[in-house]
Amino acid sequence: MKEERSTPWKTENWFVSPWNYVDEVRKDFSPPKRVKIHDVTLRDGEQQAGIIFTKDEKIRIAEKLAELGVHRIEAGMPAVSRNDEAAIREIVKRKLPSEIFCFCRCVVSDVALAADCGVNGIVIEIPSSAHLIEKGYKWPLEKAIDLSIKATAYAKELGLYTVFFTIDATRSDLDWLLNLVQQVATEGHMDAFTLVDTFGVLCPQAATYFTNRVRERISKPLEIHFHSDFGLGVANTINAVMAGGEVIHSTVLGIGERSGNTPMEETVMALLTMYGIDVGIDYGKLNEVSQLVRNLAGVQIPSCRPFIGDGAYTIESGIVTGWYKNAYEDHPTTLYPVRPQFVGRDDPKIVMGKKSGIDNIWVWASRLGISINDSEALELVQEVKSKSYELKRVITEEEFCELAGQVKNRRCSQ
């Protein structure tokens, strides 16, 4: 994708604030030369309560993610079930352009199974906060360290790219965490380290701090795996990228355990338009992929979700409909910060309801072939508002036509 960069905040496809690009805002940014997407929909996304992807559904999603241009697909955790293992093996056989990874516990047998599945690499987890190890796992701290060293060293023997993943890192003592990571990197093996906010408890400033502190001690590529328990997954992930994080772990729709993972759609669009970082995916396929996952997962999302919500490009307000009439055809980003077609959506949809105005009337009357004059249009606005209020929803075309007919009949009888 190529866009005019002389005004990176305003192109034919988006229009955001120029303040995002002033030197005072950007002076402390140190992003990597390239940012990759590591999709965890098929593993961490499926951990959302009630979501189950069959083997065939996982394959369909993986193929769509590859079409989207996702760099890595975390296809599941083979040790979880035979169905997951079978799905991972089949996805590997498809030889997709994306790298295929899987998730492992710090257990040698998990690593061996992953290698047998033929994946390119593994994300290997270990609890990394003392309270979780002692209270959640009921392990001595030394066990966590010993398991990590043995499993990662074995992964190196098998030629697997190994991403070390420290569960609950952000509620850990940071020095203890970094000592653990350095010991594993020295005595075991680690190709990359993941910044993990398992419970979504970082604030954006702390995400920057976390990334900077790790970079001071760990000379490995950094990956970012943040959750959204406080709705900060996108902001935290972006802050970590701007501090040097290279790989974003995200899910389609932001599905995941509890309040979900960092959503891919909002993250990549914010990076592109507000920070000038193009992750290299096909943005026009975002809605196609999101709709597939939504259907197969059986989940509902708010209609106002950015870019992918059913109502993200729907207009009821009379004022905004006026803007649409005046500006959308020639200047679509005057109305929407991102042109709908850029993310795979159709033109905005004008609906009729309590907040509608005279411009909505003219748009609908023209589309439906209804001939009305100015006085009738003004009366019809009030009828529409009353009907919508009574029904507690927007009205249908049939209801609009009926109201228009009633107005015209009253006018004729006067």
Site of tokens 């990076």? 271
Beta bridge partners of 37: 248
| Whole-number pLDDT of residue 134 | 61
State the Cα–Cα distance between residues 360 and 334, nearest whole angstrom: 18
| Whole-number pLDDT of residue 6 | 84
| Whole-number pLDDT of residue 256 | 95
Two structure tokens written together for 354 = 């309590």
State the Cα–Cα distance between residues 186 and 359, nearest whole angstrom: 68
**CATH class of the domain at 18-297:** alpha beta
| Whole-number pLDDT of residue 138 | 62
State the Cα–Cα distance between residues 167 and 156, nearest whole angstrom: 21
State the Cα–Cα distance between residues 268 and 14, nearest whole angstrom: 13
- Parallel, antiparallel or unpaired: strands 121-127 and 222-226: unpaired
| Whole-number pLDDT of residue 137 | 58
| Whole-number pLDDT of residue 180 | 83
| Whole-number pLDDT of residue 84 | 93
Domain-by-domain residue ranges, the chain? 18-297, 314-413
Other C-beta atoms within 10 Å of 107: how many?
A: 16
Under a CB-based contact definition with an 8 Å cutoff, are residues 198 and 167 in contact? yes
Per-residue pLDDT of the chain (414 residues; tens, 9 = 90+): 444 468 999 999 999 999 999 999 999 999 999 999 999 999 999 999 999 999 999 999 999 999 999 999 999 999 988 999 999 999 999 999 999 999 998 889 999 999 999 999 999 987 655 655 665 556 666 777 788 889 999 999 999 999 999 888 998 889 888 888 888 888 989 999 999 999 999 999 999 999 999 999 999 999 999 999 999 999 999 999 999 999 999 999 999 999 999 999 999 999 999 999 999 999 999 999 999 999 999 999 999 999 999 999 999 999 899 888 888 888 999 889 999 999 999 999 999 999 999 999 999 999 999 998 999 999 999 999 999 999 999 999 999 999 998 887 775 555
| Whole-number pLDDT of residue 128 | 59
Under a CB-based contact definition with an 8 Å cutoff, are residues 291 and 265 in contact? no
HEC-encoded secondary structure of the chain: CCCCCCCCCECCCEECCHHHHCHHHHCCCCCCCCCEEEECCCCCHHHCCCCCCCHHHHHHHHHHHHHHCCCEEECCCCCCCHHHHHHHHHHHHCCCCCEEEEEEECCHHHHHHHHHHCCCEEEEEEECCHHHHHHHHCCCHHHHHHHHHHHHHHHHHCCCEEEEEEECHHHCCHHHHHHHHHHHHHHCCCCEEEEEECCCCCCHHHHHHHHHHHHHHCCCCEEEEEECCCCCHHHHHHHHHHCCCCEEEEEHHHCCCCCCECEHHHHHHHHHHHHCCCCCCCHHHHHHHHHHHHHHHCCCCCCCCCCCCCCCCEECCHHHHHHHHHHHCCCHHHCCCECHHHHCCCCCEECECCCCCHHHHHHHHHHHCCCCCHHHHHHHHHHHHHHHHHHCCCECHHHHHHHHHHHHHHHHHC
